[in-house]
Structure 1
Amino acid sequence: MKKTLVTLACALAMSGAFAQTSAPASAPVSAAASVSAAKAGHERNVEDRIAYLHTQLKITSAQEPQWNAFADVMRNNGQTMGQLFERRKAATNLSAVDDMKQYATIAQAHADGMKKLVDAFDPLYSSFSPDQKKLADVTFRQPGGAMGGGHRHHGKGAGKQTPADDAGAQS
């Protein structure tokens, strides 16, 4: 389960951090507008994953308080990681040592965020019915984890139905 949650947080942190929208070639885009568009894209990705998991895990109204706590941690982690990646992207002329320090900061933020995510997920998972636990176990074991897009995967096995898809179809 820990490996799955690590995958979840990593996918959350990494996906969308570099999301940008394209502007028409004739319209110049300022750096601020580009950062704003990337931030909006990242937030949209996080919200899409939250909605996907809410549906996939069949969250009940009784589970909403635990779910909301978990979703808020996902949002906060996504915001933190997005900011750190934007800072990394904006940094120029870093020495190798500074680059490593910056990466260490990202890795530490990821670890801290993962701990918060586990702490928020534990009571939610405990509230699940046996069927929901099975769905969660399968969903979080999918390639890319539950946060890795959930719907489409590229590369080996692309287009194949996953056990989570089968579980969702059986319900």
Structure 2
Amino acid sequence: MKKTLVLLASAVAMSGAFAQASAPVPASPAASAAASSPAAKAGHERNVEDRIAYLHSQLKITAAQEPQWNAFADVMRGNGQTMGQLFQQRKAATNVTAVDDMKQYAAISQAHADGMKKLVDAFDPLYNSLSPEQKKLADVTFHQPGGVEGGRRHHGKGKVGKVAPAPASDAAVKP
């Protein structure tokens, strides 16, 4: 179950950031200003809201589960906003040194880890409120290759690539 929660949290926490980071890099300062415009922000927020709506539908959330769901969705929104801002800052940075680039990546990684913890903490009571059928749906939904983000993984500065296939079993992975 912990593995499922981690996969869930990872997929959901990063889902908004993937959509934001995969946008083309603007060619000019004017285009860069336009990319951080309210319209771009609205597009990012729409992506997060689309994922929230998708999960709500997939998990068949009931009226009785709405309080736990709303807490979980609010964490998703907050994580998406934080990651979106960090990726925008990373994309906007020009002429950075290798050290600065590594610091940006470290800040993103730390925000991701912090967001994951918040997401797991919010998902745990929701998962516990799910029926056995809903738990199976959650387990299947978040155990798919690539999770909710559709098999895409961020590789820094706007580059997105396909996720490598997972090993056949945990035994195949050697430390």
Q: Return the TM-score normalized by structure 1.
A: 0.76
- The RMSD of aligned alpha carbons is 2.3
Q: Which residue of 2 aligns with 1:49?
A: 51
CA 1:49–1:108 in structure 2 vs 1: closer, same or farther (change >3 Å)? Answer: same
Give, in angstroms, the shift of residue 18 of structure 1: 2.7
Distance 2:105 2:54 in 1: 30
- The answer to whether residue 11 in structure 2 is matched with residue 14 in structure 1 is no
Q: How far is the alpha carbon of 1:44 from its aligned partner?
A: 0.9
Query: In the alignment, which residue of structure 1 is the partner of 2:35?
Result: 34
In structure 1, stretches of 5+ residues that fail to align are: 22-28, 157-171
How far did residue 12 of structure 1 move? 1.6
Higher relative contact order (CA 8 A, sep 6+): 2
**Which residue in 1 is equivalent to 2:74?**
72
C-alpha distance in structure 1 between counterparts of 2:23 and 2:102, whole Å:
25
- Give yes or no for contact 2:141–2:147 (8 Å, CA) kept in 1: yes
Q: Does 1:98 align with 2:103?
A: no
Q: 5+ residue gaps in structure 2?
A: 25-29, 152-160, 164-175
Q: Distance in 1 between matches of 2:139 and 2:47?
A: 22
8 Å contact from structure 1 (residues 13, 82) kept in 2: yes
Cα-to-partner distance string for 1:11-60 (whole Å, 9 max, x where unaligned): 42532123559xxxxxxx65333212332221111000000000000000
Q: CA–CA distance in 2 between the matches of 1:34 and 1:14?
A: 15
In structure 2, what is the equivalent of residue 135 of structure 1? Answer: 137
Q: Call closer, same or farther: CA 1:20–1:40 in 2, change over 3 Å.
A: farther
Q: Per-residue deviation at 1:2?
A: 4.0
Please list, as runs of the form range in 1=range in 2, the aligned pairs for 1:102-117 lying within 5 A after superposition: 102-117=104-119
Aligned length: 145
| TM-score, scaled relative to structure 2 | 0.75
Checking the alignment, whether the CA contact within 8 Å between 2:59 and 2:137 is kept in structure 1 is yes
The AA in structure 2 aligned to 1:31 is S
CA distance in 2, matches of 1:63, 1:3: 21
- Alpha-carbon distance in 1 for matches of 2:133, 2:108: 36
Contact 2:16 2:48 (8 Å CA) reproduced: no
SS of the aligned residue for 1:140 comes to helix
8 Å Cα contact 2:13-2:79 kept in structure 1: no
- 8 Å contact kept, 1:81–1:109: yes
Give the deviation of 1:3 after TM superposition: 3.8
Secondary structure of 2:144 counterpart: coil
Task: Tell me, in whole angstroms, the C-alpha distance in 2 between the residues paired with 1:20 and 1:96.
Answer: 23
Identity of aligned residues (%): 70
Change over 3 Å in CA distance of 1:108–1:13 after alignment to 2? farther
